[in-house]
Amino acid sequence: MTWLLDNRPLERALVTRLRYLGDVVMATVVVDALRRGDPGLEIGFLCEEAYAPVLAGLPGLARVHALSVRRRGADARARTGESEGGLPARPAAATIARLRAARYDLAVDLFFNPRSAWLLRLAGIRHRVAGPAGSRGWLYTHQVDAAPERGREAWDRLAPGGPGDHLARLAPLVHAESGQGFVDWFLAGGVRACPRLSARPGAAASAAATLARAGLEPDSPFLVLAPGATWESKRWPIGHWAALARELPGAWPGSIAVLTPPGADIPPLSASMTEDARVAVLPPLPLPTVLDVLATASGTVSVDGGVMHASVGLGTPTLALFGPTDPGLWFPYEGAGPFRVLARRPACHPCDRHLCDAFICLPELEPATVMQATMRMLADAGEPRGGGGR
């Protein structure tokens, strides 16, 4: 089987989404689609080195190119590898050399910011596909707007939300054997787009050791609570998390592990949990260990963020608590697995505010409601997993 672009067969393809955990996870739908259309296609992925562990062991991925960067602040521009005008500087030279050596004939850029645009251009990749890139459009050979596919019943059913936007960038491709363009080929296959990650071979042992160090029973099923969010408007109130953590042990027989975001501290939550030995706040963990914990958990309760997407990608039952952002775009997973969303959706919803003086969408989501939804999710998922049992 072969993919064609501009009547040329493709042998090696690069998918790139440089940063943000949730976006890198969602980008795996593109890898999956390319591989299903041509199992012999050699596929690479380019991302910042912090996110490379997410892609370890992903089926169909030949290699991961990890771009070294340095950041200042929680969401600052990367300073290393980019000049003031967006042109990659010397620290990116090694990445460009590796991309050139891999001899990719297609690059699918799901970020299309100045850095990724220049990296792909300087790597000499013949076909470079992106979304509408504005003034950077000349750095690409194809720009594909996802808007024409939105609103099509079949597309919205099989490729909803963010994953569908990513997949739409492949529209210029033609599947040689069927003669269909990518969109028609994808819809004919009838496979629902959902991100998929692979658990590390030692994930169960790693998670069990992490739980044991926190004082939890390593062989018992456990739930993960993930309260961390970059935006203040995505944070469920800490008092609500504390109330949920107090109530869960009465209904859930296993342990409850709370993830602490890197660089964050949640003392009000940890102080409220000391009464029950089955509840513990984990220290900040490196990303591979976070993924190990998620992969072996019986379920995850998370706000809108990277941990939520990673939990879905690992197939862990996931309850997502949404505030201002649109679940239809950022949690299009209901019906694709044991994944559920709770959102209040007031009159002002959705919005993209990081701060809100009239913040009601998440505060009005009561702990009792989340508790009931969590237990329903676990009941629907069936046999609990966790500790060394997976």
3-state DSSP of 276-332: CCCEEECCCCCHHHHHHHHHHCCEEEEECCHHHHHHHHCCCCEEEEECCCCHHHHCC
pLDDT for the residue 166: 97
357: buried, middle or exposed (CB in 10 Å: 19+, 13-18, 0-12)? exposed
pLDDT tens column, 121-180: 999 999 999 999 999 999 999 999 999 998 899 999 999 999 999 999 999 999 999 999
Domains and CATH numbers, the chain: 3-189 (3.40.50.2000), 203-389 (3.40.50.2000)
Type of residue found at 194: C
Spell out the alpha helix ranges (H) of the chain.
Answer: 21-26, 28-37, 93-102, 114-122, 153-158, 161-168, 182-189, 203-213, 238-251, 267-272, 287-296, 306-313, 327-330, 367-381
pLDDT per residue as tens digits for the range 25-47: 999 999 999 999 999 999 999 99
Q: Average of pLDDT values for 323-330? A: 91
Enter the tokens of residue 187: 């819809």
Dump the DSSP string for 190-239. Answer: TPPP-------TTHHHHHHHHHHHTTS-TTS-EEEEE---SSGGGPPPHH
Please count the CA atoms within 13 angstroms of the CA of 155 that sit on its side-chain side: 20
| Contact present, 45 and 31 (Cβ < 8 Å) | yes
Predicted local distance difference test score (pLDDT) of residue 316: 97
Strands 174-175 and 106-109: unpaired
**Count of residues making up the chain:** 390
Q: State pLDDT tens for residues 297-310.
A: 999 999 999 999 99
Q: Supply the pLDDT for residue 306.
A: 95
Exposure string for 256-278, b = 16+ CB within 10 A, e = fewer: bbbbbbeeeebeebbebbeeeeb
CA separation for the pair 229, 342 (Å, rounded): 16
Mean pLDDT, all residues of the chain: 89
Query: For a pLDDT cut of 70, what percent of the chain falls above it?
Result: 89
Confidence of residue 267 (pLDDT cuts 50, 70, 90): low
Please give the average per-residue pLDDT across 377-382, as a whole number. 90
pLDDT at residue 352 in the model: 80
Contact assessment for residue 350 and residue 362, using Cβ atoms and an 8 Å cutoff: no
Q: Which residues, at least 6 apart from 286, have a Cβ–Cβ distance to it below 8 Å?
A: none
pLDDT in tens, 327-356: 999 999 999 999 999 998 877 888 887 787
| pLDDT > 70? residue 238 | yes
* Residues in CB range of 18: below 8 A, 6 or more apart: 46, 47, 48, 67, 111, 113, 115, 116
Specify the pLDDT at position 69: 82
Mean pLDDT throughout 84-89? Answer: 42
Supply the pLDDT for residue 71: 56
In this predicted structure, what is the pLDDT of residue 356? 77
CA distance 165 to 187: 14
